[in-house]
Structure 1
Amino acid sequence: MIRTPDQRLRVFVSSTLRELEPERRAARGAIERLRLAPVMFELGARPHPPRELYRAYLQQSDVFVGVYWQQYGWIAPGEDVSGLEDEYRMARADMPKLLYVKQPGERQERLHALLERIQHDDTASYKPFSTAEELAELIEADLATLLAERFDRSRAPAASPADTADTAATDRLPAPYTQLIGREREVAELLAWLDDSARRLITLAGPGGIGKSRLAIEVARLARERFDRVAFVALEHMRDADEVVPAIARALGVREMSDGPLADLIANARAGHRDLIVLDNFEQVMAAAPVIAALLADLPDATFLVTSRARLRVRGEYVFDVEPLGVPSDPAKGSVDEILDAPAVRLFGDRAQAADPRFTLTAENAEDVARICRALEGVPLAIELAAARVRALTPGVMLAKLDRVLPLLTTAARDVPERQRTIETTVQWSIDLLGADAGALFVRLGVFAGDFSLEAVEAIEAVGSWTADLLETLLELVDSSLLRQHDEAGMPFFSMLAPVREVATARFELGADAAVIRRAHADHYARLSVETEPLLRGTTQLAALARLQAERDNLRAGYRHLISLGEVDIVADAVWRLLLYWWIRTLLPEAKGWMEQILEAGVPLSGRTRAIALAFSSWVALLQPGSRVDQGPVEESIALFHAAGETFGEACARTVLSLACTSASPPDLHRAEQLERQAIELVVAHGDASFEGLFRGALGSVLLFQGRADEALTIFLAVLEHAIRIGDPFVESVTLTNAGWARLALGEAHPEVFARHLELSLRLGNEDGVGYAFEGLAACAILLSDVDRAGVLLGAAETARQRTGLIEQRSYITYQPFVDRMLASDRAAEFEAARARGRALSRRAALDLVLGAR
């Protein structure tokens, strides 16, 4: 192009105006002495808003000069940043940036933060200065050097861009066979990352089959207009790191024309071009990571988007962890619409319909599909392989076969890479890349049944020592996407996706040391039960519940193994110590199941173990509708606890017997009161503040059933103060609902009490408490003559009870009179219609009805 005399290079000058007025004059003089054109805010007519003006100026400029001192600049109404920062952000990636900071200075906080980011911008020159005269000298010298460098590069001796670059090369992205589903958030976030000039090496990291390549292709496709060229480099068949740079050169259309380094040819050929280079399946050539880091410096205008099962672990890398697709929450608790909207379910439906056009997602099969997606933990490849089986299996039959997922997850498609024909080969592909220590540890981790803590890994490592540095080896497994790391209750936890875990488990079972490791695993989780017991009370309750919930599958596996060895006393003790966990998390039927296994194990039981088993079994039976409880086993439990000298156990057994007396037909409320008072004496002597509050509340309930509502309320209010004082949310939640029923018995409706109980129940994960809250709120609505709301809430309560399968008989005694009153009124039909609507509500909709935005 032939320039006319007035088309000089334009240099945009960015700074605050008043505090740097002398410096701006000096910068203008330096630019004009080089016969360049200064582009400055104060030099042009301004019939436009300032933001539009400087953005237009920037678009027409060739070089960016930034001058900074103390002030961050004015932030216009409706904007997040000042014009000063906006100008720096808007400077094109291919625009040379010369930045100068005046010294000394007391800089505003936001300017300090901006300068810290600028210092890490490896596409910019960054220098200090003290006076306007020094600034002028720096700008004049730097602009002259910049022009000389650009001229030298344009006539590089090795080859010119015309010699080395294939001008006919165009973007070569693989054409995807299928629509990308469920990744809208990830695509948007990655496109924003590509707009950030600081993020020039982005690694999409994740296990095999998670959808890294498909996501990278979609992001690159949508980002085409932002780059001069998009190059896709497939590395899946490479094993030699030396092949990577030639592959990049071919993708960019750069031809090797001399004996010089190929990286230099690429740098010369693509100088000044903003390229996006996609490197797919980089885990195959991890030794080339330093080469990519060097190219990052040689190609200052390029961005690398890498997919890999392991992180590159080089400077400048930004890792984007590709997670599984979102799966529905518990399908039993969600509506059909919520299930069908889950990304994993949408993917299953799309791929299943591609396999068999007759297949459609319906209300009838939605729950089965949701459970399949949950079992496969949202792994896209696993879901696609499973969906292809709808030609032979219904979702219901497929779900039944998912106990062992690997045989089901295969494909006969001829155009699928061998490593993706089955989930098992996909996992094997990652295992083959591990070092010896990591491979050995991976096999031993097959002992774990679900998420596991660092402490648990240390416990099994103590019996084998398969690695010199456990933390470093775990990190290798995390970086290789075979393990996933997260924090729970302030502790590091690890997990494996279902297909990975099944491979690890299968290999573990074949190991010579499997029996020793399994025993170490079981002993650790028995100890965990003992150590966690005191933490389930008071202010540590929520964290302890989260810890146990995170490791629940391993607790179960440990208990099963100990029972198989005849170590039933250890299991009974462990289960008993976690009484509050089973109770709060509505898992009491599971605890009863352990007790039944212990009683049926055919091994001698200690008196304490038998007492625990009888107490648990009797208590849970009382919570299961329609059960008739024989008081004999509870009486025996009390005697056995007493003989063993365990006051806490005896207090619990007496409370269970009190509950049985209250629930009997007719109820024996006098004996129930006596038993509860005895229980309180025992637990006070034991010194357990949480159970003291729970047992005093149980006494208040007995008094309430006796018609002594005033006395009961006095007890409940005292217990509520006690619960808040000791910081125990479960005692507080139980007492709130008791106090709400006492007030209802006195003719007062306090729905806010039950709403607070509901909030606490949700925090605790106490699904049983949700049912109690809805029942109390329904009774309040009846007392307040809000018939429609009462019916809806009672219907929602009934659905909640169906989910848990539990209902305390005493709860029925309190709310049923309110229901009978409505059924006998002239608004019974309206009430029943609302009740039916409430039963059909999803859990989320019912909670929204009560809590709204909360």
Structure 2
Amino acid sequence: MKITPGGIRTPDQRLRVFVSSTLRELAPERAAARTAIERLHLAPVMFELGARPHPPRQLYRAYLDQSDVFVGIYGSNYGWVAPDETVSGLEDEYNLAPDLPRLIYITQSAAAREPRLTELLDRIRDDDRASFKYFATPQELRRLLEADLATLLAERFDLSRTEPTTDTVPVTLEPTMPPTPVPLTELIGRETEIHAVEALLSAEAVRLVSLIGPGGIGKSRLAIDLTNRAKNRGEDAAFVDLTPVNDASLVPNVVAEALGVLDTGDRPIAEKLTAALRERRVLIVLDNFEQVLAAAPGLTALLSAAPAVKLLVTSRTILRVSGEHAVEVGPLAVPDATRAGDPARVASVALFVERARAVKPDFDVTPATLEAIAAICVALDGLPLALELAAARSRMLTPAAILARLDRRLTLLAGGARDLPARQQTLRKTIEWSTQLLGPHEKKLLTLLGVFAGSFSLEAVEFVADASSDPDLEPLFALGNLVDNSLVREEDRGGRPYYSMLTTLREYALEQLEVAGELEATRGWHARYFVELARSLEPSLRDGGQREAIALLNNDRDDLRSVARFLLDTRDYATIAEFAWALLVYWWLGGLLGEVRAWMDEVLVLGHELDDRTRARAQYFSQSITLWKDPDDRVVPGLTESAELFGRVGDRSGEGLAHLSLSLAAIAHRPPDAERAEASLDRSIDLLRAAGDGWGEAMALLTRGRLALVQRSVHRAVECFEQSLALARTQGEDMGIAAALQHRGWALLVLGHTADAKASFEESLATSARLGHAEGVAYGLEGLTAIAAAEGRAERAGRLLRASESLRRQTGLGDAASFSFHKHYLAPILAGDGAEELERARTDGSDLSIDEAVDFALQHT
């Protein structure tokens, strides 16, 4: 009997996501997938969700016919092959979904995969219509799937921007759980180290553990595993990669960024980080600390101020600070010919085989190949990175051939690194051996990639490569070969490929650039690419492309910092000022204004002969960022000079923004100088309107509404906020929309229009969450706290208050700024019968995560 799509209905009639996997083997992963799908208000189509009075094959075929997205999750098992069938249900489901968007996830923790599953995965990798990623834990799978589905929906469905909705929040903030890198290899042979570190960290008196060992020994891989183990136990843990950081003073900034603490410029970031962590129990893992050892004393200061924080640090050298407990990470065990036993069970051999099979799925281990592999492991001293580089050659060479070439090449290279310890000499010679096997174009590109501080896009690689001394270099082809040889790693971010290199390989590449005398020139081209990127994205940051531009820049954040440092070191002050100015909105939304102010202060101190435009921009950043929190006698003169210089060079937009900041300074003055603020605003709006700067004009109208509220002209304030909102909607600019809605909400609430105020706060909150703007989310939660209080809902007000306070504490935003009046609306409840209920909701139970808080706040119950 043929089952038609209408014959068997899926359990839900919403947009449907079909989940394919083996059932019993991947039960935790299926549960994580279901959670991710339901959090986006989609319908998971899974066997366990509905009655099945039909044969399994008919059922999943009917379900697939009615589904919109296919999700495949694969572990070790291929699944059962039914009688009269040639493939398992797992493979049949994939075959039956060629026209659906296909999201594929492969677990890194799988044991040896069954051969037919390996064949299926090879086919999937070659299918350019399917996206696939690796994951380590069910929790990581949930995050990956939720993000990918949100991106897929944004790309495939034409959602109107003109009628915003607060029903769903597809993009959320989660500062307490920064992403941990996805390991590309199974952790092998580190049971002793894991036990030692976990035993130390479980001791109450131990606060700082360092993993010590040379480059390539596997410290980072071990740290990643320990981070994931802590997360899987339900603990708060954050992995912080310090690879791109060479300036010890930036360590607090990078740690704060990983933990969601915003550098808004109102206080030193180290102080904000300490305040955010003072009551937080968290394990912070700092990877590659050896290049910022000067920051080590700051770790002990942090531990002293935050008693529930523990640190796990990887470093090539001991930190030499009080309270440090060092665990040495040595090489993997190698086969011992004098002892009986199965060499395949030795850790170094197991790692080699695992990596060889990753590049050659049919890699066969026989007694003959095992002997050669064992000899390779001995020759490479059991160093994990060296073993991976050698195993990558298994695609073209047998183990015996690898051994022969490796032995010969290591001998030839023996004189190249005699000043290094023995193990480092082995690793260095293995890297050189690996690069010797590359073609000249691949060698050239590998050295050029050393200038990237973090991960890098294909577009960035092509730009830098085009400026190289090799006119025949084809970057796409060469990059593919580097990926195939495990010298560069590839990952997918929002549908775009990004690439990265291990720290040891990057160091080698930079060294080769310096030897060739091309380092400074290549850094210059690297900087030029990102300066041009900033110029190209400036319009998008101020209109409907804001979210996409921010996502793109977030992927390049390490390189943006690197470019700023290069421009400062080379005294190219005009370019860094232009670079900072183009990304003004990004620094603001990303909570990075404190760093930018430090750059501009450096420009003002060192750049004694600045051109007018550069000085105008530097003064603007230096003075405008802290005018609310730390006004002093320099702010108004500095902003006045900025406005005059912008006017001198004919930059109406810059002059208008400087006058806007001058109006804010007048409002922040105690008592507020309304007359001066009004005059500055009139000038600002005229200039911005003449410049066609709709983003700036919307901000100025918003400020005019704030001034009207200060003057107790509430109806005028609503009118100004409405004008600002209309202009921001015309621009399609989310930050301006969220800000205008939030301000309008307060004005409407003051007028007693509670329902309209509630709608404004809800849309503002949803927009800020989609944008990823933590401060906007905090303001939205506080607005809805006031609504709950006005409605007499003490328990709801208490929960929302707790959520907003928790968010401000975690992100270092401190107390609500002057434009949040929720405490005024809470006062009657705290003074009446509802005080106990409100305080109980505020203090009992555990904190909501940010996305949970947003979901709760937008519920209409």
Q: TM-score, normalised by structure 1?
A: 0.58
Task: State the match for 1:452 in structure 2.
Answer: 456
Distance 2:767 2:523 in 1: 37
Q: How does 1:483-632 map to 2 (within 5 A)?
A: 483-485=488-490, 492-496=497-501, 501=506, 504-505=509-510, 508=513, 510-624=515-629, 630-632=635-637
Separation of aligned partners in 2, 1:718 and 1:110: 48
Q: Does 1:354 align with 2:354?
A: no
The match for 1:783 among 790, 797, 813 is: 790
Pairing 1:662–2:680 present:
no
Aligned to 1:187: 75
* 3-state SS, counterpart of residue 792 of structure 2: coil
Residue 848, structure 1, aligned to residue 848, structure 2: no
Q: 1:27-66 to 2 correspondence within 5 Å?
A: none
1:219 and 2:113 aligned: yes
Q: CA–CA distance in 1 between the matches of 2:695 and 2:461?
A: 32
1:401 aligns with 2:279: no
- Deviation string, structure 1 residues 706-736 (Cα, Å, up to 9, x no partner): 1111111122223323322332222211111
Give the aligned partner of residue 715 of structure 2: 710
Equivalent residue for 2:808, pick from 762, 778, 801:
801
Give the match for residue 721 of structure 1: 726
Match of 1:440 in 2: 444
Shift of 1:851: 3.9
What are the Cα deviations for residues 110-129 of structure 1, in whole angstroms up to 9, with x where unaligned?
Answer: 89xxxxxxxxxxxxxxxxxx
Judging changes above 3 Å, is the alpha-carbon distance between structure 1 residues 426 and 500 closer, same or farther for their aligned structure 2 residues? Answer: farther
Q: Is the CA contact (8 Å cut-off) linking 1:438 and 1:474 kept in structure 2? A: yes
Larger Rg: 1
Q: CA deviation at 1:332?
A: 11
Return the offset for 1:637: 1.7
Q: Which residue of 2 aligns with 1:760?
A: 767
TM-superposed deviation, 1:212: 10
Q: CA deviation at 1:380?
A: 4.3
1:425 aligned partner, one-letter code: A
Query: Distance in 2 between the 1:420 and 1:381 partners?
Result: 18
Residues 316 and 198 (structure 1), Cα distance of their counterparts in 2 relative to 1, 3 Å cut: farther
1:662–1:470 Cα change, 3 Å: same
- Structure 2, unaligned runs of 5 or more: 4-48, 67-71, 81-86, 96-104, 145-171, 212-216, 230-281, 293-313, 318-327, 335-346, 349-376, 393-430
Aligned residue in 2 for 1:425? 386
- Output one character per residue of 1:730-767: Cα deviation in whole Å (capped at 9) or x when no partner: 22111110110111111232333222212211221211
Question: 1:403–1:840: structure 2 CA closer, same or farther, 3 Å change rule?
Answer: farther
Conserved in 2, the CA contact under 8 Å of 1:368 and 1:396?
A: no
2-structure distance, mates of 1:456, 1:821: 57
Kept in 2, the 8 Å contact 1:622–1:629? The answer is no
Q: 1:703 to 1:499 in 2, by over 3 A?
A: farther
What RMSD, in angstroms, separates the aligned Cα atoms of the two structures?
A: 5.1
Q: Tell me, what secondary structure is at the counterpart of 1:359? A: helix
The equivalent of 1:464 in structure 2 is 468
> Does the 8 Å contact 2:77/2:117 carry over to 1?
no
Superposition map of 1:288-307 within 5 A: none
- Is 1:680 matched up with 2:685? yes
Q: Which amino acid aligns with 2:758?
A: P
| Alpha-carbon contact 1:703-1:712 (below 8 Å) kept | yes
Between the aligned partners of 1:536 and 1:555, the Cα distance in structure 2 is: 16
- The answer to whether residue 673 in structure 2 is matched with residue 636 in structure 1 is no
1-side partners of 2:771 and 2:389: how far apart? 40
Bigger mean CA deviation after superposition, 554-563 or 479-488: 479-488
Does the 8 Å contact 1:563/1:571 carry over to 2? yes
Residues 363/812 of structure 1: CA separation in 2 closer, same or farther (3 Å cut): farther
CA shift in 2, pair 1:314/1:558, >3 Å: closer
CA distance 1:725–1:369, change in 2 (3 Å): farther
Alignment coverage as a number of residue pairs: 586
SS at match of 1:219: coil
Deviation at 1:793, TM superposition (A): 2.1
* Amino acid across the alignment from 1:411: G
Amino acid at match of 1:587: L
Alignment of 1:368-407 (within 5 A): 380=221, 383=224, 401=289, 403=291, 407=316
SS of the equivalent of 1:573 reads helix
Change in 2 beyond 3 A, CA 1:526/1:836: same
Give the whole-Å Cα distance in 2 for the aligned partners of 1:813 and 1:199.
Answer: 53
Sort the Cα spacing of 1:440 and 1:742 in 2 relative to 1 into closer, same or farther, 3 A: same
**Counterpart selection for 1:414 from 333, 351, 362:** 333
- How far 1:835 moved relative to its partner? 3.7
**Equivalent residues of 2:106, 2:132 under 8 A apart:** no
Q: Conserved in 2, the CA contact under 8 Å of 1:324 and 1:380?
A: no
Q: Distance in 2 between matches of 1:200 and 1:824?
A: 62
Q: Secondary structure at the match of 1:539?
A: coil
Contact 2:613 2:646 in 1 (8 A): yes
Range that drifts further, 471-480 or 573-582: 471-480
Moved more, 781-790 or 505-514: 505-514
SS in 1 for 2:75: helix
Instruction: Tell me the distance in 2 between the aligned counterparts of 1:609 and 1:353.
Output: 53
Query: How far does residue 824 in structure 1 lie from its aligned partner after superposition?
Result: 4.7
Q: C-alpha displacement at 1:420, in angstroms?
A: 8.6
Deviation at 1:354, TM superposition (A): 2.1
Please state how far the C-alpha of 1:473 moved relative to its aligned partner: 1.4
8 Å contact kept, 1:586–1:804: no
Would the alpha carbon gap of residues 793 and 313 (structure 1) be closer, same or farther in structure 2, given more than 3 Å must change? closer
Given that 1:530 and 1:577 are in contact with CA atoms closer than 8 Å, whether structure 2 keeps it comes out as yes
How many Å separate the matches in 2 of 1:339 and 1:451?
A: 15
Decide whether the 8 Å contact of 1:377 with 1:497 is kept in 2.
no
Identify the residue that residue 140 of structure 1 maps to in structure 2: none
Distance in 1, matches of 2:128 and 2:825, equals 67
**Does the aligned pair in 2 maintain the 1:460–1:520 contact within 8 Å?**
yes
Q: 1:190 to 1:691 in 2, by over 3 A?
A: farther
Secondary structure at 2:672's aligned position in 1? Answer: coil
Answer yes or no: is the 8 Å Cα contact 1:410–1:422 preserved in 2.
no
- Determine if contact 1:774/1:793 at 8 Å carries over to the other structure: yes
Counterpart residue type for residue 848 of structure 1 = D
What are the equivalent positions in structure 2 for 1:275-354 lying under 5 Å apart? 276=115, 322=134, 353-354=194-195
Q: 1:366 to 1:489 in 2, by over 3 A?
A: farther
Matched-pair identity in %: 29
AA of the residue aligned to 1:440: K
Alpha-carbon deviations, 1:302-343, whole Å to 9, x = none?
Answer: 7766999xx99999999975456688899995669x999x99
The alpha carbon displacement at 1:444 in A equals 1.4
Alpha-carbon spacing, 1:834–1:606, altered in 2? closer, same or farther (3 Å): farther
Once the two structures are superposed, what CA deviation does each residue of 1:151-185 show, in whole Å capped at 9, x if it has no partner?
A: xxxxxxxxxxxxxxxxxxxxxxxxxxxxxxxxx95
| Larger RCO of the pair (alpha carbons < 8 Å, separation 6+) | 2
Contact 2:659/2:681 (<8 A) preserved = yes
Query: Alignment partner of 2:499: what SS?
Result: strand
Q: Is 2:818 the counterpart of 1:811?
A: yes
Scaled by the length of structure 2, what TM-score is found?
A: 0.58
Between the aligned partners of 2:611 and 2:225, the Cα distance in structure 1 is 52
